[in-house]
Structure 1
């Protein structure tokens, strides 16, 4: 009886080890897709309130005239699409393509908070975060400065007063609007 019990237990142990070895390993979880979004300016009573932030000629803009928008897109361009990866703000250029990074020319780099994009940069690229459906850089708001054509160039508030050319500059917040069907675009840099 003892020999029979031992034989049955030993056989069961070998069978379970064999099954564990032969069982396929579970597939690794897929990488999480980064949330794609557009940005909308929020400043009540401002001419650009609820306007979309767009990218063109290496900078970010509000109320940019259609004839000045300059992007090569894989579909009909609606608005500029962004996403955040490792605290970097990027312009969406397809799921597997290279993306253009947004960088801030902060006083550390001799700038006044201008926002530019390139594939490489010496400016500050990290510390972008979405919190309470708002995007900020280093916990700072955004600044819009009027231009002669009615558009507004967009800066990050770097704690420096932006002046020159009789421009009106006002702070605002950038609201995140989820894009369920983002359009891949490459934006001009000059």
Structure 2
């Protein structure tokens, strides 16, 4: 399936059309063409897109919007009061005020603050389960593991960027943009082969090939 980043499989250095023909000498492939000639591997931009746990993020955004609607007015008032107090020279704890406001809101007797954290952990836990379910025999054996590692690392950045209610007390829009852009830039440079080489060092997790 297209949701899994494919590992690169190096192309044979000999010309496959001449192999097996008596008297035909293999033609070497130029060293500079090896990366471009990798077989089945996704490029930089493909990796950037596929490492994003898009379906899980979509679920999280949907649920978070429901929680956010319930908390919008109390949180706005808490922020306004905290800022007004600071403007008068009264030391305030803005994150604490926001957290307290969220905690007081309930759904069926359960604090929205508790629900928001539960949803965050459920979405994170579902990331490897989802990616494992969409991988198939056509995927390189190492690729699902690479996607799981990178997507689980990516999810907290996306949760912070979409202003998750659980992280609302510490949210800063500018910082969220910087963090997400930085992670996105770095993630595209991470090939499945790199992650697999690290996983192979972990007993019980590495490839048993």
Fold shared per TM-score above 0.5: no
The structure in which a higher percent of residues are helix is 2
Give the TM-score range, shorter chain. Answer: under 0.3
The structure in which a higher percent of residues are strand is 1
TM normalised by structure 1 equals 0.21
